[in-house]
Structure 1
């Protein structure tokens, strides 16, 4: 199953939703596709979809998916990374009236350059190749996310222990 999420930003992300729906229509995607379409006005005809999903369904869909495709919002692509998956990230772009600026483009570029653990797509035409050759593209990626929580907790515990000595 492929899971697509565009988040909850109030501007439509029809470009992504329609492109994926057309890949499914044309038989280029054989797997089931589940979409969270947000405020997009395009209604998929070939994929299962909901405008919004409860958080537990987002988690389940992300866990069950062989490929997760997200917009460039950090919360959306952090979830698959935390599950050891490499998301395909299609940032919303200002020139398509998908967001108020290009911060998603800038952020996804920075994450890719720094960590290399996402597959960023800036030209929607490149998305088909990313999906069809996903396994090959993922094999060279670092799909782990290092959490600072453990390090923080260990250091905090040491400080507390030192205070009580």
Structure 2
């Protein structure tokens, strides 16, 4: 199962919701897809969906999912990673009126470049290929960065 979540930001994220629905329609995705579509206006025809979900439902769908596709909200994609899920991040972008600026794109790139195992799709036409590449990978193990963070924090505190 693939779980897609666009978060709760009040601007629609139709670009992602419509593309996932299209990929299911054209049998590019051949498994169950559940979408949390937030304030998106596009209504999926080929996927199960809900506008909003409570934390229990989000956690249930995330834990059942083989793959999580989400917006660039750090709480969402870091939660997916912490659950050991392959994660594709499709950041909301200002040029598509999905957010007020491009902070999701900038931040998700910084997180990826810091070594976190996320795939970033900045152009929706690439989603199909990234899903295929991700599906071909066998093992996935989340690599925590906690020890590195703690070491850096300790050095910063010691230097005060």
| TM-score normalised over the length of structure 2 | 0.87
Q: CA deviation at 1:138?
A: 7.1
How many residues matched?
Answer: 150
Give the structure 2 partner of residue 162 of structure 1: none
User: Mapping of 1:135-146 within 5 angstroms?
Assistant: 135-136=135-136, 143-146=142-145
Asked if residue 57 in structure 1 is aligned to residue 57 in structure 2, the reply is yes
- The alignment yields a C-alpha RMSD, in angstroms, of 1.9
Match of 1:94 in 2: 94
Q: Distance in 2 between matches of 1:11 and 1:46?
A: 23
SS at match of 1:111: helix
Q: 1:11-32, CA deviations, whole angstroms, 9 ceiling, x for partnerless residues? A: 0000000000000011111100
Q: Does the Cα contact within 8 Å between 1:84 and 1:145 map onto a contact in 2?
A: no
User: C-alpha distance in 2, partners of 1:137/1:130?
Assistant: 11
Shift of 1:79: 1.0
Alignment TM-score, normalising by the size of structure 1: 0.85
Deviation at 1:135, TM superposition (A): 3.4
Aligned to 1:20: 20
Contact 1:21-1:47 within 8 A present in 2 as well: yes
- Which residue number corresponds to residue 120 of structure 2? 120
| Structure 2 residue runs without a partner (length 5+) | 155-160
Q: C-alpha separation between the residues in 2 aligned to 1:50 and 1:12?
A: 14
Structure 1 runs (4+) greater than 4 angstroms displaced: none
Cα distance in 1 for residues equivalent to 2:15 and 2:138: 24
Paired with 1:41 and 1:134, the residues of 2 have a C-alpha distance of: 28
Q: Name the residue aligned to 1:105.
A: 105
The structure number with the bigger radius of gyration is 1
Gaps of 5+ in 1: 156-165
